[in-house]
């Protein structure tokens, strides 16, 4: 489904795990290898999202998992049907569902996945990607024929240390 319109996602899976893999393939990296296997970090992220969904539905009612997950990834909150607090008043650059792995807004699990780090590898230094009340996330950009996500924060640790913006395909 990569390269298709990300606003129209058709999900054919029947289990939460199948739907998660299909949606994550469109809205974010999944780490699926050519043989169809997944890394342990991806399985943990999938399990975390499914647990968040089960918690939400036990308190607020049933909504299909695929709709809930698409909402979470696109809007940036697991509170289905509700915008994040102060959504209108928060300035942002990039996609709110796509924090840079060098940002304090990124979970340790997400950072490990995006940087290809194992469970025992040390995490990089993270800094808050907020400047003058504007929060910076990764944005969709191309580098030649390759499309991916690039950190939009000018003070990102990766940018300061390497002289280039963090880029993920």
Residues of the chain predicted below pLDDT 50 = 1-5, 33-35, 89
The confidence score (pLDDT) of residue 38 equals 61
Q: Is 16 helix (H, G, I), strand (E, B) or coil?
A: helix
Q: What angle do CA 94, 65, 76 make, to 5 degrees?
A: 20
Sheet with 134-136, side-by-side order of all strands: 91-93, 134-136, 130-131
Give the mean pLDDT of the chain.
Answer: 81
Q: How far apart are CA 70 and CA 5, in angstroms?
A: 14
């Amino acid at each position: 489904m990569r390269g298709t319109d990300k606003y129209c996602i058709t999900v054919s899976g029947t289990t939460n795990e199948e739907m998660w893999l299909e949606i994550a393939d469109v809205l974010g990296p999944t780490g699926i290898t050519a043989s169809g296997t997944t890394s342990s970090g991806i399985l943990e992220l999938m399990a975390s999202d499914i647990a968040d969904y089960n918690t939400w539905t036990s308190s607020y009612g049933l909504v299909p998992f695929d709709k809930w997950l698409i909402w979470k990834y696109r809007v940036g909150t697991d509170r289905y049907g509700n915008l994040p607090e102060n959504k209108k008043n928060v300035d942002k650059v990039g996609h709110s569902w796509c924090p840079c792995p060098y940002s304090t807004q990124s979970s340790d699990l997400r950072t490990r996945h995006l940087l290809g780090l194992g469970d025992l590898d040390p995490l990089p230094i993270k800094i808050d990607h907020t400047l003058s009340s504007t929060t910076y996330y990764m944005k969709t950009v191309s580098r030649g024929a390759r499309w991916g996500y690039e950190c939009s924060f000018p003070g990102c640790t990766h940018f300061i240390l390497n002289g280039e913006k963090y880029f993920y395909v």
